[in-house]
Chains A and B, each alone.
Chain A
Amino acid sequence: NAGVTQTPKFRILKIGQSMTLQCTQDMNHNYMYWYRQDPGMGLKLIYYSVGAGITDKGEVPNGYNVSRSTTEDFPLRLELAAPSQTSVYFCASSYSISGILVRVTQYFGPGTRLLVL
């Protein structure tokens, strides 16, 4: 299994541009998450999904949108990029078949570094 994969690895955007960060997992996990990590800070939850067709906001959702049309994919959309969105973005997944403890053990992708100028 490749686990959680993210593309692109690095991107430079101009203010006002749009882009989609891709995330795919091949572990058949039903839970997927998007976090951002700013320098010297912990990870902050942007959006999460408990299954295909179901998404919900996390702690810092403003300026982002998500969709979940399949179990495997969970893209993150930036519509009007702003310098405050310069960060490293991590996608993660987990599953709950075996109960709560399994659900909270999340597996992370390698991240996408985004610079907005």
Chain B
Amino acid sequence: QKEVEQDPGPLSVPEGAIVSLNCTYSNSAFQYFMWYRQYSRKGPELLMYTYSSGNKEDGRFTAQVDKSSKYISLFIRDSQPSDSATYLCAMSGGGADGLTFGKGTHLIIQP
């Protein structure tokens, strides 16, 4: 069983729709959860991070963590064509040894 599972998509939605992106994980030691956005041929860009369970909101983006279910989500409201990218979830137990990434979900927002 892989540590972090993420549906690669592609996920195609019309402009203005609410987008839901998700990851599941198996390692109960993960305490820190990140979402990165990666445009084609670019490096990942940090979108949001959360610690432990709960919700965090930043503009049109909301991150949710449910540690009891080992499930994290990223919601995008009022989606825009500029949101079209690959979204990577990443997790850490807090150690210095880097992040564990999902494969990424390719999101397409249709104008």
Using CB atoms and an 8 Å cutoff, list the residues of chain A in contact with chain B. 4, 31, 33, 35, 40-45, 48, 50, 56, 58, 90, 96, 100-101, 103-111
Contacts and interface: CB of A to CB of B under 8 A. Distances in A.
Given A42-B102, A106-B99, A90 B44 contact: yes
Given A40-B103, A43-B88, A104 B94 contact: yes
Interface of B: 4, 6, 8, 32, 34, 36, 41-46, 49, 51, 88, 90, 92, 94, 96-99, 101-104
Contacts, number: 63
14 contacts: A33-B98, A43-B88, A43-B101, A45-B97, A45-B98, A48-B97, A48-B98, A58-B97, A96-B96, A100-B94, A101-B49, A105-B49, A108-B36, A111-B41
B43 A109 contact: yes
B103 A41 contact: yes
